[in-house]
């Protein structure tokens, strides 16, 4: 039998430790990025108490929000196998089982699809309202700047250029969109890139790294869920932005005509 020399053993040990560190680093970074996306969405629209309850119940069951009652039941059964007082050795098994029963009863005792639809409508409404509020503030600020420049004894062509720039409502609204969802877009891209890093890491592993492969694959699944939730929220923002633009266009068109008439 050929023995592994000390040098070779140390090399294998270093590789194993390196793999473990890389795995832990990827998992930690994924958790931070996912949390950042959740915080950004909550910053744009703070969760209502009813939505917080739903999120709490899904968290207890260890699954992402879904209207699929089969998935909810499966998650409940899996958790019950761990925490049911008759079979569990966990100290907090009774409390956990009580929370599981409450979560399961709450999520299966109502139409989650209706709750999710209501949340979509609320999200679109809130983002649209936020967009219009920011737009008005930015427009008022731009208007004051325009008046300030007009009082500086500029030429007529310069005045016309300033007025035309002020009337470019689309450029102003793009700033509003960036202010609301700019950070969320960056965080979603960052999580997408991190998912690719996780996939490439898995490709470097072999069958002897079964545990690491399993953990990273679970991480990738969690990332996909976060991305799905983030992009769904982003789609609500797109609808809200479109609605806000439709309300802004006729008002800005009328204001533009008034300014041009005043210029003669």
**What CATH number was assigned to the domain covering residues 47-110?**
1.10.287.110
Confidence of residue 116 (pLDDT cuts 50, 70, 90): low
Digit-coded pLDDT (tens) for 20-59: 889 999 999 999 999 999 889 988 987 654 555 677 788 7
pLDDT score, position 6: 47
Higher pLDDT, 133 or 105: 133
Q: Is the pLDDT of residue 72 over 70?
A: yes
- Which of residues 107 and 1 earns the better pLDDT score? 107
Q: What percent of the chain has pLDDT over 90?
A: 37
Of residues 49 and 70, the one with the higher pLDDT is 70
**pLDDT value of residue 158:** 86
Q: CB–CB of 127/180 below 8 Å?
A: yes
Residue 110, pLDDT score: 61
Mean of the per-residue pLDDT values for the chain? 83
How much is the average pLDDT of 121-144? 92
- At 242, is the pLDDT very low, low, confident or very high (cuts 50, 70, 90)? very high
Q: Which residue has the higher pLDDT, 53 or 142?
A: 142
Q: Which residues belong to CATH 1.10.287.110 in the chain?
A: 47-110
**pLDDT reading at 141 higher than 80:** yes
pLDDT tops 60 at residue 7: no
Q: Which of 120-124, 185-189, 204-208 has the highest mean pLDDT?
A: 185-189
Spatial contact of 216 and 201, defined as CB atoms under 8 Å apart: yes
| Closest-CA residue to 72 (of 62, 87, 82, 81) | 62
Mean pLDDT of 105-121: 67
The token pair at 190 is 């960052």
What distance in Å separates the CA atoms of residue 192 and residue 152, rounded to the nearest whole number?
Answer: 49
Residue 11 confidence class, pLDDT cut points 50, 70, 90: very low
Query: Nearest Cα to 18, choosing from 26, 30, 7, 6?
Result: 26
Nearest by Cα to 242 from 170, 143, 134: 170
pLDDT value at residue 49? 46
């Amino acid at each position: 039998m050929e023995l592994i020399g000390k040098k070779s053993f140390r090399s294998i040990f270093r590789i194993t430790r390196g793999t473990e560190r890389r795995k832990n680093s990827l998992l930690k970074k994924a958790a931070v990025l996912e949390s950042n996306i959740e915080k950004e969405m909550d910053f744009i629209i703070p969760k209502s108490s009813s939505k917080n309850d739903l999120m709490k119940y899904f968290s207890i069951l260890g699954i992402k929000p879904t209207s699929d009652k089969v998935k909810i039941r499966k998650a409940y059964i899996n958790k019950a196998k761990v925490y049911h007082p008759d079979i569990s050795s966990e100290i907090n098994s009774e409390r956990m089982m009580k929370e599981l029963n409450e979560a399961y009863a709450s999520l299966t005792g109502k139409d989650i699809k209706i709750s999710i639809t209501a949340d979509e409508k609320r999200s679109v409404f809130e983002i649209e309202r936020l967009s219009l509020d920011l737009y008005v503030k930015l427009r008022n600020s731009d208007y004051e700047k325009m008046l300030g420049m007009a009082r500086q004894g500029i030429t007529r062509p310069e005045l016309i250029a300033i007025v035309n720039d002020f009337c470019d409502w689309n450029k102003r609204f793009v700033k509003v969109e960036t202010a609301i969802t700019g950070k969320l877009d960056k965080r979603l891209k960052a999580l997408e890139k991190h998912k690719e890093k996780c996939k490439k890491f898995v490709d470097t592993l072999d069958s002897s790294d079964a545990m690491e492969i399993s953990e990273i694959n679970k991480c990738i699944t969690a990332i996909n869920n976060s991305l799905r939730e983030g992009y769904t929220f982003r789609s609500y923002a797109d609808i809200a932005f479109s609605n806000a633009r439709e309300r802004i266009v006729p008002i800005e068109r009328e204001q533009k005509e008034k300014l041009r008439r005043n210029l003669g």
